[in-house]
Structure 1
């Protein structure tokens, strides 16, 4: 039973993995105050082989798992100044589907509104002339998404999440910048975890903080096109179901490639990535994100 709880919990946490705070190239660059933007994103991920403490699990029903996630995300942001310091705030809401296939096809899919996220960032240091920036951001997700405790797969997580992120960016050589960001996510409890915790009745789910480090180069080809590459290391996030510690620390390495195009009508970005190494959970074999941002 303990093993199956680990498996089911990995299913439960798929939305959290899909909504990790991945930065796009130049997100750490301070915005110009007095601007408002809308961003529409399409996110498509696929998760497959299940790992338990670094080893592949192939026992039924995990012989050939295939979990597809698709979501459309709407974000509205506005930039301003706080005592001459650049700042920005946004509100974001997703709508999506999690669909299990392969050996997990017997599980019900989940479709609906996801959890609402609020974020605010401020730049204590922003030297636009030297293109050096240091920013701090805070995020809060509320349990507004679709959730059914009798289903293993859910778009919503039925718990609050908060995150603090710090990032720094500066030029390395001409047209080439480097960025690094570190964030830690904290999780509220979910007192209605049943199917995803392999329990016939609601039980409690709690999770340790999860820390992500991301770093990489940003190359500006010209005024229109920019490329970026990021390496991610994710650690922590062990869970407890009821009073039982699950011994399922997240230890994941992954990459993300980005291409951005800046046009008069807005910015278009395309990102592709996948896991390189994973210790616990379903390996992410594809992450594809297409985004459009425009001022209004």
Structure 2
């Protein structure tokens, strides 16, 4: 089946924003630390992201895109044991807006529900005395988000995805830990990709696995405050329309810094970051995350 490709690469790269930043699995400070069993936690998050540049094979397109997302996320999790091993499961969903502006102002915004994520993690090794942990997590993303094949930009992806992540954390001094994680995301097909695939008819969008590595220090100032810095390298994720590869492999470097406060009413986290470099797709100029977690 043939398709019509527009003269601007903007549309065919639109889905890279979803795959490279929403589905790369950022770990928060001490997420690799094994939790105590028998606890339920509720997490409410606000995420604001701004994208102001678009690259094709390391070259800026020269346009002035402005793509901003504002998300409210809700997560419900519970900790337990599998045999003698610590474990946790959670479900996360939410809603928000994805707003094109600047050179993208002709495209409609997306408002509604986000895709839903179900995750389970288990710790094959957890030594609280030595502050050393090895955890493995599996993620399943469900296509519950707002999606229209007539829109180039959507909150939802209209496809399933699965991910596997391995994380390791150990001390490097009395108050500083080093955290390392690697994850791979595998994508299902979206058979209703029209506007986002530069087509007047539905095409089948497929995508190769996306690989992410993150590393950074975690500094515990005292029992209340913790700060952390993380460097992330993302690669892979080339897309294809009806089996025709698009030569748009993601290669992105980014960072984020986090501050955490453990208080009597719950845990507060403030996080800020942006892309350092990207080869294909939108470059994120700002990502701000506010998160509150209450455990019972």
* DSSP 3-state at the match of 1:16: helix
Cα distance in 1 for partners of 2:9, 2:240 equals 10
Residue in 1 aligned with 2:85? 85
Deviations 1:231-284 (A, max 9, x none): 000000001011311000000000010000000110000000000010001100
Deviations 1:115-164 (A, max 9, x none): 11100000000001111000000000011111100010111100001000
1:177 deviates by 0.3
Cα distance in 1 for partners of 2:252, 2:149 equals 27
Residue in 1 aligned with 2:179? 179
Residue in 2 aligned with 1:229? 229
Residue in 2 aligned with 1:40? 44
On the 8 A contact 1:6/1:246 being kept in 2, the answer is: no
CA RMSD of aligned residues (A): 1.2
After TM superposition, list the pairs within 5 Å mapping 1:178-217 onto structure 2. Answer: 178-217=178-217
1:111 deviates by 0.3
Residue in 1 aligned with 2:290? 290
Q: Which runs of 5+ in 2 are unaligned?
A: none
Q: Which runs of 5+ in 1 are unaligned?
A: none
1:28 corresponds to 2:27: no
1:5 deviates by 7.3
Q: 1:195 to 1:220 in 2, by over 3 A?
A: same
Cα distance in 1 for partners of 2:87, 2:97 equals 33
Residue in 2 aligned with 1:120? 120
Cα distance in 2 for partners of 1:271, 1:57 equals 29
After TM superposition, list the pairs within 5 Å mapping 1:1-296 onto structure 2. Answer: 4=7, 6-19=9-22, 20-58=24-62, 63-296=63-296
Q: 1:249 to 1:3 in 2, by over 3 A?
A: farther
1:96 deviates by 1.1
Q: 1:27 to 1:37 in 2, by over 3 A?
A: same
With normalisation by structure 2, the TM-score equals: 0.96
* DSSP 3-state at the match of 1:25: coil
Cα distance in 2 for partners of 1:109, 1:51 equals 21
Q: 1:2 to 1:55 in 2, by over 3 A?
A: farther
Deviations 1:176-204 (A, max 9, x none): 00000000000000000000001111010
The count of residues paired between Structure 1 and Structure 2 equals 292
1:18 deviates by 3.7
On the 8 A contact 1:183/1:212 being kept in 2, the answer is: yes
Cα distance in 2 for partners of 1:272, 1:16 equals 20
